[in-house]
Structure 1
Amino acid sequence: MSRGPRPHRALAEAIPIAKARGMVQLVMSGPERIFDIAIVSKIPVTFVRVMFAPAILATIQELADDFKDEIGLLRIVARDAAITAEIWLRSRHGTWRFFLVTPNTLVEIDREGKRLVPGSGQTLV
Protein backbone atom coordinates (compact mmCIF):
# COMPACT_ATOMS: atom_id res chain seq x y z
CA MET A 1 0.00 0.00 0.00
CA SER A 2 1.20 3.52 -0.79
CA ARG A 3 2.53 5.78 1.94
CA GLY A 4 0.41 8.73 0.96
CA PRO A 5 -0.79 10.78 -1.97
CA ARG A 6 0.95 10.79 -5.31
CA PRO A 7 4.02 13.01 -5.47
CA HIS A 8 2.46 15.44 -7.97
CA ARG A 9 5.51 17.66 -8.37
CA ALA A 10 7.79 14.67 -8.97
CA LEU A 11 5.23 13.11 -11.31
CA ALA A 12 4.99 16.32 -13.36
CA GLU A 13 8.78 16.40 -13.72
CA ALA A 14 8.92 12.66 -14.51
CA ILE A 15 6.66 12.93 -17.54
CA PRO A 16 9.20 14.72 -19.81
CA ILE A 17 11.89 12.24 -18.71
CA ALA A 18 9.55 9.38 -19.64
CA LYS A 19 8.55 10.99 -22.95
CA ALA A 20 12.21 11.04 -23.98
CA ARG A 21 12.08 7.22 -23.81
CA GLY A 22 8.78 6.63 -25.65
CA MET A 23 5.02 7.11 -25.53
CA VAL A 24 3.70 7.74 -22.04
CA GLN A 25 0.51 6.44 -20.45
CA LEU A 26 -0.37 7.80 -17.01
CA VAL A 27 -2.23 5.61 -14.55
CA MET A 28 -5.19 6.85 -12.56
CA SER A 29 -4.68 7.19 -8.83
CA GLY A 30 -6.15 4.55 -6.56
CA PRO A 31 -5.36 2.31 -3.59
CA GLU A 32 -4.34 -0.63 -5.79
CA ARG A 33 -2.07 1.37 -8.10
CA ILE A 34 1.14 -0.56 -8.84
CA PHE A 35 2.80 2.02 -11.10
CA ASP A 36 2.34 5.65 -12.16
CA ILE A 37 3.63 5.68 -15.74
CA ALA A 38 3.87 3.13 -18.52
CA ILE A 39 6.51 3.95 -21.14
CA VAL A 40 5.78 2.25 -24.43
CA SER A 41 8.64 2.04 -26.89
CA LYS A 42 9.88 -0.62 -29.27
CA ILE A 43 11.59 -2.57 -26.47
CA PRO A 44 11.17 -2.53 -23.55
CA VAL A 45 7.80 -1.48 -22.21
CA THR A 46 8.57 0.02 -18.81
CA PHE A 47 6.32 0.39 -15.79
CA VAL A 48 7.50 3.21 -13.51
CA ARG A 49 6.64 4.14 -9.94
CA VAL A 50 7.55 7.76 -9.07
CA MET A 51 8.24 8.49 -5.42
CA PHE A 52 9.45 11.32 -3.20
CA ALA A 53 12.67 10.39 -1.38
CA PRO A 54 13.64 12.54 1.60
CA ALA A 55 17.06 10.81 1.80
CA ILE A 56 17.97 10.70 -1.90
CA LEU A 57 21.69 10.08 -1.25
CA ALA A 58 21.06 6.97 0.84
CA THR A 59 22.62 3.67 -0.13
CA ILE A 60 20.71 1.38 -2.46
CA GLN A 61 20.05 -0.97 0.47
CA GLU A 62 18.60 1.87 2.57
CA LEU A 63 16.38 2.96 -0.32
CA ALA A 64 15.29 -0.66 -0.88
CA ASP A 65 14.28 -0.81 2.78
CA ASP A 66 12.51 2.59 2.68
CA PHE A 67 10.50 1.67 -0.44
CA LYS A 68 10.07 -2.07 0.11
CA ASP A 69 6.27 -1.96 -0.30
CA GLU A 70 6.41 -0.09 -3.62
CA ILE A 71 9.25 -2.29 -4.88
CA GLY A 72 7.26 -5.37 -3.86
CA LEU A 73 4.31 -4.20 -5.92
CA LEU A 74 6.54 -3.54 -8.94
CA ARG A 75 7.87 -7.08 -8.64
CA ILE A 76 4.35 -8.34 -9.33
CA VAL A 77 4.64 -7.03 -12.90
CA ALA A 78 5.53 -9.91 -15.22
CA ARG A 79 8.84 -9.20 -16.89
CA ASP A 80 11.16 -10.45 -19.55
CA ALA A 81 13.48 -8.75 -22.04
CA ALA A 82 10.55 -6.72 -23.37
CA ILE A 83 8.97 -5.66 -20.04
CA THR A 84 10.75 -3.89 -17.18
CA ALA A 85 9.81 -2.15 -13.94
CA GLU A 86 11.57 0.88 -12.47
CA ILE A 87 11.30 3.11 -9.43
CA TRP A 88 12.20 6.77 -9.90
CA LEU A 89 13.01 8.79 -6.78
CA ARG A 90 13.06 12.58 -6.49
CA SER A 91 14.29 14.73 -3.61
CA ARG A 92 12.66 17.98 -2.59
CA HIS A 93 15.58 19.79 -4.26
CA GLY A 94 15.00 18.16 -7.64
CA THR A 95 17.68 15.46 -7.47
CA TRP A 96 16.65 12.26 -9.25
CA ARG A 97 17.77 8.64 -8.92
CA PHE A 98 16.48 5.82 -11.12
CA PHE A 99 16.45 2.09 -10.41
CA LEU A 100 15.61 -1.01 -12.40
CA VAL A 101 13.59 -3.36 -10.21
CA THR A 102 14.63 -6.97 -10.73
CA PRO A 103 13.20 -10.00 -8.93
CA ASN A 104 15.95 -9.87 -6.28
CA THR A 105 17.76 -6.52 -6.47
CA LEU A 106 17.69 -2.88 -7.47
CA VAL A 107 20.07 -1.76 -10.20
CA GLU A 108 20.84 1.95 -10.47
CA ILE A 109 20.29 3.26 -13.99
CA ASP A 110 20.41 6.63 -15.72
CA ARG A 111 17.35 8.53 -16.92
CA GLU A 112 17.54 6.69 -20.26
CA GLY A 113 17.30 3.30 -18.55
CA LYS A 114 20.95 2.33 -19.03
CA ARG A 115 22.89 0.76 -16.19
CA LEU A 116 25.32 3.12 -14.50
CA VAL A 117 28.98 2.28 -14.84
CA PRO A 118 30.27 1.04 -11.46
CA GLY A 119 32.05 3.82 -9.62
CA SER A 120 30.46 6.58 -11.70
CA GLY A 121 28.59 7.95 -8.71
CA GLN A 122 24.94 8.83 -8.49
CA THR A 123 22.61 10.22 -11.09
CA LEU A 124 22.04 13.85 -10.20
CA VAL A 125 20.17 16.55 -12.03
Structure 2
Amino acid sequence: MKPGRWSPRALKDAIPIAQMRGLIQLAGKGPDRLFDINIVSKIPIAFIRVKFAPEILASLTEIADDFREEIRRLRLIARDAAVTAELWLRSRHGTWRFFLVTEKDLIELDCHGWPLNVG
Protein backbone atom coordinates (compact mmCIF):
# COMPACT_ATOMS: atom_id res chain seq x y z
CA MET A 1 0.00 0.00 0.00
CA LYS A 2 1.30 3.46 -0.83
CA PRO A 3 1.36 5.95 2.04
CA GLY A 4 -1.77 8.05 2.32
CA ARG A 5 -1.82 11.46 0.82
CA TRP A 6 -3.41 14.58 2.21
CA SER A 7 -7.06 14.62 1.27
CA PRO A 8 -9.27 17.69 1.62
CA ARG A 9 -12.33 15.44 1.36
CA ALA A 10 -11.12 13.20 4.18
CA LEU A 11 -10.53 16.26 6.36
CA LYS A 12 -13.96 17.69 5.50
CA ASP A 13 -15.63 14.36 6.28
CA ALA A 14 -13.68 14.04 9.56
CA ILE A 15 -15.09 17.27 11.00
CA PRO A 16 -18.59 15.92 11.89
CA ILE A 17 -17.02 12.82 13.46
CA ALA A 18 -14.71 15.01 15.55
CA GLN A 19 -17.59 17.28 16.56
CA MET A 20 -19.37 14.27 18.12
CA ARG A 21 -16.49 14.12 20.61
CA GLY A 22 -16.23 17.79 21.56
CA LEU A 23 -15.26 21.22 20.37
CA ILE A 24 -12.82 21.21 17.49
CA GLN A 25 -10.08 23.44 16.21
CA LEU A 26 -8.53 22.96 12.77
CA ALA A 27 -4.77 23.28 12.39
CA GLY A 28 -3.39 25.64 9.79
CA LYS A 29 -2.15 24.31 6.47
CA GLY A 30 1.48 23.54 5.86
CA PRO A 31 3.91 20.67 5.53
CA ASP A 32 5.24 21.03 9.08
CA ARG A 33 1.97 20.61 10.95
CA LEU A 34 1.79 17.72 13.40
CA PHE A 35 -2.00 17.35 13.37
CA ASP A 36 -5.07 18.40 11.39
CA ILE A 37 -7.78 18.60 14.07
CA ASN A 38 -7.68 19.20 17.81
CA ILE A 39 -10.67 17.92 19.79
CA VAL A 40 -11.24 19.61 23.12
CA SER A 41 -13.54 17.85 25.55
CA LYS A 42 -13.42 17.20 29.27
CA ILE A 43 -10.83 14.44 28.91
CA PRO A 44 -8.98 13.58 26.79
CA ILE A 45 -7.89 16.34 24.48
CA ALA A 46 -7.07 14.65 21.16
CA PHE A 47 -4.72 15.69 18.39
CA ILE A 48 -5.87 14.06 15.14
CA ARG A 49 -4.03 13.46 11.87
CA VAL A 50 -6.40 12.64 8.98
CA LYS A 51 -5.13 10.73 5.95
CA PHE A 52 -6.44 8.91 2.89
CA ALA A 53 -5.84 5.14 2.95
CA PRO A 54 -5.94 3.33 -0.39
CA GLU A 55 -6.26 -0.02 1.41
CA ILE A 56 -8.39 0.59 4.48
CA LEU A 57 -8.45 -3.09 5.53
CA ALA A 58 -4.67 -3.34 5.89
CA SER A 59 -3.21 -4.98 8.99
CA LEU A 60 -1.88 -2.91 11.89
CA THR A 61 1.64 -3.80 10.82
CA GLU A 62 1.03 -2.52 7.28
CA ILE A 63 -0.61 0.66 8.58
CA ALA A 64 2.27 1.29 10.99
CA ASP A 65 4.72 0.84 8.13
CA ASP A 66 2.83 2.85 5.51
CA PHE A 67 2.02 5.76 7.83
CA ARG A 68 5.26 5.73 9.82
CA GLU A 69 6.02 9.40 9.16
CA GLU A 70 2.58 10.55 10.36
CA ILE A 71 2.88 8.28 13.40
CA ARG A 72 6.40 9.58 14.12
CA ARG A 73 5.12 13.16 14.00
CA LEU A 74 2.15 12.37 16.24
CA ARG A 75 4.54 10.84 18.77
CA LEU A 76 6.22 14.25 19.09
CA ILE A 77 3.09 15.57 20.82
CA ALA A 78 3.35 15.28 24.61
CA ARG A 79 0.77 12.75 25.79
CA ASP A 80 -0.66 11.48 29.03
CA ALA A 81 -4.07 10.31 30.24
CA ALA A 82 -5.56 13.72 29.37
CA VAL A 83 -3.85 14.26 25.98
CA THR A 84 -3.92 11.75 23.13
CA ALA A 85 -2.75 11.57 19.54
CA GLU A 86 -4.77 9.72 16.91
CA LEU A 87 -4.45 8.72 13.26
CA TRP A 88 -7.71 8.67 11.30
CA LEU A 89 -7.77 6.92 7.94
CA ARG A 90 -10.48 7.23 5.28
CA SER A 91 -10.96 5.05 2.20
CA ARG A 92 -12.14 6.33 -1.17
CA HIS A 93 -15.56 4.82 -0.35
CA GLY A 94 -15.94 6.69 2.95
CA THR A 95 -14.94 3.87 5.30
CA TRP A 96 -13.03 5.05 8.36
CA ARG A 97 -10.52 3.49 10.75
CA PHE A 98 -9.27 5.26 13.87
CA PHE A 99 -6.06 4.58 15.83
CA LEU A 100 -4.68 5.79 19.13
CA VAL A 101 -0.96 6.43 18.71
CA THR A 102 0.96 5.49 21.84
CA GLU A 103 4.70 5.61 22.41
CA LYS A 104 5.14 2.11 20.96
CA ASP A 105 1.81 0.91 19.55
CA LEU A 106 -1.29 1.64 17.52
CA ILE A 107 -4.58 0.80 19.20
CA GLU A 108 -7.67 0.66 17.01
CA LEU A 109 -10.56 2.82 18.23
CA ASP A 110 -14.21 3.30 17.38
CA CYS A 111 -15.41 6.68 16.09
CA HIS A 112 -16.01 7.85 19.69
CA GLY A 113 -12.41 7.24 20.72
CA TRP A 114 -13.01 4.01 22.64
CA PRO A 115 -10.72 1.00 22.03
CA LEU A 116 -12.34 -1.69 19.91
CA ASN A 117 -13.03 -4.94 21.68
CA VAL A 118 -10.75 -7.60 20.28
CA GLY A 119 -11.76 -11.25 20.33
**TM-score (norm. length: structure 2):** 0.95
- SS at structure 2 position matched to 1:17: helix
Uncovered stretches (5+) of structure 2, i.e. residues with no partner: none
Give the drift of 1:117.
0.3
RMSD value, Cα:
1.2
Give the drift of 1:61.
0.6
Asked whether the equivalents of residues 85 and 101 of structure 2 are also in contact (C-alpha less than 8 Å), the reply is: yes
Partner residue, 1:63: 63
Asked whether the equivalents of residues 44 and 81 of structure 2 are also in contact (C-alpha less than 8 Å), the reply is: yes
Asked whether the equivalents of residues 107 and 115 of structure 1 are also in contact (C-alpha less than 8 Å), the reply is: yes
Aligned residues: percent identity? 62
Which whole-Å deviations, capped at 9, do the CAs of 1:2-50 have from their partners, x for residues lacking one?
x786311010110000000000000011121100000000000000000
Distance in 1, Cα, partners of 2:80 & 2:13 = 28
**TM-score (norm. length: structure 1):** 0.90
Asked whether the equivalents of residues 6 and 29 of structure 1 are also in contact (C-alpha less than 8 Å), the reply is: no
1:67-106 aligned at under 5 Å gives the runs 67-106=67-106
Uncovered stretches (5+) of structure 1, i.e. residues with no partner: 120-125
Amino acid at match of 1:101: V
- SS at structure 1 position matched to 2:25: strand
- SS at structure 2 position matched to 1:111: coil
Runs (4+) off by over 2 Å: 3-6
Asked whether the equivalents of residues 110 and 116 of structure 1 are also in contact (C-alpha less than 8 Å), the reply is: yes
Greater relative contact order (Cα < 8 A, sep 6+):
2
Distance in 1, Cα, partners of 2:107 & 2:7 = 22
Partner residue, 1:122: none
